[in-house]
A = this chain, B = another copy of it.
Amino acid sequence: MTAMNRGSGREAEQPRVAKVGILGKGTVGAAFRDLLEQRADMVEEVSGGRRPEISGVLSSREGDFDRILAESEVIVELIGGTDPARDYVTRALRDGKHVVTANKQLVAQHGDELVSAAKEGGAQLRFEAAVAGAIPVIRVLQESLGAVPIQKVTGIVNGTTNYILTEMARAGLSYDEALKQAQELGYAEADPSEDVGGADAAAKMTILARLAFGAPISLDDVPYQGIQEITPDDLAYAKDLGLSLKLLGVAERLGDRVSVRVFPCFLYSGHPLAPVEGPFNAVTVEAPVITEITMSGPGAGGAETASAVLGDVLSVLSGGSPLFEENSKLGVADDVNSAFYLHLEVEDRPGVLAQVAEILGENEISVRSVVQRGLGDDARLEMVMHEGPESRFSAALERIAKLDFLRSPPRSIRVIEEEFV
């Protein structure tokens, strides 16, 4: 177990001006430069007299990293990706320069290395902007809940997929139609694969899980699944059962192990994430001591990200230290409990439901609700299971898929049973 805690303090000899070097000239970089200029007076006042001034801006075409590093007290990394950001950030931290970054991939993939570099240099590393835009979930996990044993973190941490799922449910659009609309409105990139495939959410959940559990989770420990296979029918049928579909990240403590995963999932209307719609992000943190708290807001646009970066810069200049605790005793879980929704299109003949129920029963899977609808010669079965080990459900599903009365392959989607209010 190690702890990383080094404050800059606020010693009397600190210069009045705080030099801030900016790496990256994209949308967020531009938004941050504007915001820093607009709010310099406020930062100076609130930080007790430290006036921020830009020491230099590095882009792929101009600027010299070594010069900027030498002249800066704080490095703000807004390049994205791991190369060359990883090299710049570790060098800055080892050199004792505080780093504020919005780079989720960097923190998720190389967290251990960055924490070591920060310890070595006695510098602060802050990354509020890497997860959920302006929603201060990192600070809440590190500081407000720093001494509370956290049980579970559930998040809608990708605005693109939440927008697409919302429009599919609301307007009955296909996945392709909803994606196209999201691209036209600027909620999805031209190449949306990192968002829709779940990789973006997995990186963010890696970061949240490390902070929540102090465990050395790496991105490789986080299985993820995207939303590309979701159909409007999935959403329409489930609506009848009072369920709404989200791409969720779930990080939970299971005894001496943790599980971190990303998957499409149904929620009942009493879950605090059920009403989160459109391009919004939200995170629910559960702990026995606090029951649960939920934070929601717009996903990461340029202005929201810049605001989170400025909050981190302010914290660096005001002294204090981010709390980052590592507890290497926690391992990664193999099997986890989940509830499932199961949708079967079947031939309408006697004994169909009985055979499905028998297979589920033999695998000790308990059924929460069943709706059967006749469709001429066919019938549709919509079932929701209670929570149980995923391995047992998979075994049952394998047998169900081979039943001769199925008209099409079975469709299954996870369900979270919890309702809070």
Query: In the complex the two chains form, is A42's CB within 8 Å of B147's CB?
Result: yes
Kindly supply a per-residue 1/0 record for chain A positions 288-313, scoring 1 wherever the CB is within 8 Å of any chain B CB and 0 otherwise.
01111111111000011011101100
Q: Does A39 contact B (CB under 8 A)?
A: yes
Query: Contacting chain B: which of A20-28, A191-199, A319-327, A387-395?
Result: A319-327
Known: A10-B9, A318-B323, A319-B319. A140 touches B136 (CB 8 A): yes
Q: Does A145 contact B (CB under 8 A)?
A: yes
Query: In the complex the two chains form, is A136's CB within 8 Å of B144's CB?
Result: yes
Q: Does A35 contact B (CB under 8 A)?
A: yes
Query: In the assembled complex, which residues on chain B have CB atoms less than 8 Å from the CB atom of A82?
Result: none
Query: In the assembled complex, which residues on chain B have CB atoms less than 8 Å from the CB atom of A46?
Result: 3, 5, 146-147, 323, 325
Q: Does A275 contact B (CB under 8 A)?
A: yes
Query: In the assembled complex, which residues on chain B have CB atoms less than 8 Å from the CB atom of A266?
Result: none
Whose C-beta in chain B lies nearest to the C-beta of A144?
A: B136
Interface centre among A48, A133, A139, A289 (most CB of B within 10 A): A289
Kindly supply a per-residue 1/0 record for chain A positions 15-36, scoring 1 wherever the CB is within 8 Å of any chain B CB and 0 otherwise.
0000000000000000000010
> Which residues of chain A from 224 to 283 have a CB within 8 Å of any chain B CB?
272, 275, 277-278, 280
A139 to B322, CA, bound (A): 13
Whose C-beta in chain B lies nearest to the C-beta of A1?
A: B45
A347 to chain B, nearest CB (A): 42
Q: Does A128 contact B (CB under 8 A)?
A: yes
Kindly supply a per-residue 1/0 record for chain A positions 131-143, scoring 1 wherever the CB is within 8 Å of any chain B CB and 0 otherwise.
0011110011001
Q: Copies of this chain, how many? A: 2
Query: In the complex the two chains form, is B134's CB within 8 Å of A310's CB?
Result: no
Chain A contributes a number of interface residues (CB within 8 A of B) equal to 63
Q: Does A412 contact B (CB under 8 A)?
A: no
Q: Does A43 contact B (CB under 8 A)?
A: yes
Known: A289-B306, A290-B304, A319-B319. A139 touches B144 (CB 8 A): yes
A171 to chain B, nearest CB (A): 14
Residues of A within 8 A of B (CB): 1, 3, 5-7, 9-11, 35, 39, 42-43, 45-49, 128, 133-136, 139-140, 143-149, 272, 275, 277-278, 280, 287, 289-298, 303-304, 306-308, 310-311, 314-315, 318-321, 323, 325, 421
Q: List 6 A-B contacts (CB under 8 A).
A: A7-B319, A9-B319, A289-B304, A291-B298, A315-B320, A319-B320
What 13 new A-B contacts, CB under 8 Å, besides A143-B311, A272-B296, A294-B296? A5-B10, A42-B325, A134-B144, A134-B290, A134-B291, A135-B293, A136-B136, A136-B145, A139-B144, A143-B315, A277-B421, A290-B307, A320-B321
Nearest 5 pairs between A and B by C-beta? Answer: A320-B320, A5-B48, A293-B297, A136-B144, A134-B290
